[in-house]
Amino acid sequence: MLKREDGSLRRLIEADLDIVLTWRNADPIRSVMYNDHIITPSEHKQWFARLEESSSSVHLIFELKGRPVGTVYYSDIDRMNRKCFWGFYLGEEGLPSATGLLMGILGMGYAFGTLQMHKLCGETFSFNRRGNAFFKKLGFRQEGLFREHILKNGVYEDVILYALLEDEWKTALAHIEGRFLS
């Protein structure tokens, strides 16, 4: 069983770009992203340059026992209203059970602690069963549905909107840690 201290988050740096590009272009990840074309190294470097200039987004690397295995990112950071969107994915396969939950716990802790958000929002395709189950397991509530929102493979797909408030996070944390982490 994983322990909380087995995982950590750190800022994405230029040295991480190759591995993140490999993860992002992998079929399982690309298939559940809005933009699902194969990203070129040049596009990836341009994205990183924009990211370094942005005050409304933060990208982190999730490490398991010191090894990079995924990413957690925040966008549309609204400091006045203390809300933002987040996304995440594990790029490595064959990871221990509950690795994703550990990443989620640390990611929510960063949002509500370091970023001092009041509300954390997320979204996923309705067809993304794992993504939807993950949000629910973390204590998020469905707040909306964008019908036929994104054109993907010639079909307009629905997007489900989720959110978690800061006080709900504390309850969710106790439940998750008690059941899934040692």
Q: Quick one: which of 20, 128, 126 has its CA closest to 72?
A: 20
Amino acid at the residue 174: A
Q: Which residue has the tokens 């709900």?
A: 168
Q: What is the pLDDT of residue 2?
A: 85
Residues 80-108 have a mean pLDDT of 95
Beta strands in 41-134 (DSSP E): 58-64, 67-78, 83-90, 119-125
Ordered by where they begin, the domains of the chain are 4-180 (3.40.630.30)
- 177 band by pLDDT with thresholds 50, 70 and 90: confident
Q: What is the pLDDT of residues 134-153, one digit of tens each?
A: 999 999 999 999 999 999 99
pTM to 2 decimals?
A: 0.93
Q: How far is CA 28 from the centre of its chain?
A: 15
Q: What is the pLDDT of residue 171?
A: 87
